[in-house]
Amino acid sequence: MRMRGLFSVMAAAAAMSAPAIAGAEPAPPPPPPPGPNINAWELVKPSAYAVNDGTMYAFTVPGDITCVISRGTGGYGCSGPFPAAPNGANVVSGGQVGAPGFANAANAIYVGDQPAQPLPANSRIGFQNVSCGTDGVVTACQNSFDQSGFVISPAGSYILNPSNPLLDRPEGRNPYFN
């Protein structure tokens, strides 16, 4: 009985001396959901979407959004009224390596010698490391080098895999060991 009482007193003392949890840092936001499996969609013939003397591929997707892939640099991106984009962004762009980013721009991402053609639902277009496609509602682009990319969706527009610990790490650090 005495031991039980002693433990009760010790527990109460410990509880009173414990730091307040209210001052703790908030939990980090959950990671974005995975993007759609772009490679499951049918590959279209890229030459049907070639514009500007074949220097780029341009296409439109539902929601008045235009996307391009540069054949010179491998850069890719889309512009238009993105649903639920960070900071009301209207442009998202990326490259062959690394995560893309959202931005606001006064001009569209594509100005060309002919109108961009619509990309059919459940199809994709690819060049080098980049594939972009749509299921008719969700549009996504991804580079296969580091699996980063973006999703434009009525449920929210977001960046996929903004960093890859196997590629982005401080000098001299091994991602497999701390």
The closest alpha carbon to 157, from 108, 109, 111, 100, belongs to 100
Q: Which pLDDT tens digit goes with each residue over 31-61?
A: 667 788 898 999 999 999 999 999 999 999 9
**Those residues with Cβ within 8 angstroms of residue 43's Cβ, 6 or more apart along the chain or in another chain:** 123, 124, 125, 126
pLDDT (0 to 100) of residue 51: 94
- CB neighbours of residue 89 within 10 Å: 15
* 80-106 residue pLDDT tens: 999 889 899 999 999 888 889 999 998
- Classify residue 114 as exposed, middle or buried by CB count within 10 Å of its CB (0-12, 13-18, 19+): exposed
Model pTM score: 0.74
Q: Which of 120, 4, 107 is nearest to 61 (CA)?
A: 120
Task: Tell me the per-residue pLDDT of 119-154, one tens digit each, with 9 for 90 and over.
Answer: 999 999 999 999 999 999 999 999 988 889 999 999
Distances 61 to 15, 20, 116 between C-alpha atoms, Å: 58, 51, 10
Q: What are the residue boundaries of the structural domains of the chain, listed by start?
A: 38-108+117-160
- Relative to beta strand 139-143, strand 130-134 is antiparallel
CA 167 – CA 153 distance, rounded (Å): 27
Query: 3-class SS at 167?
Result: coil
Phi, psi values for residue 47, rounded to 5°: -60, -25
- Left (φ > 0), alpha (ψ -120 to 50) or beta: where does 139 sit? beta
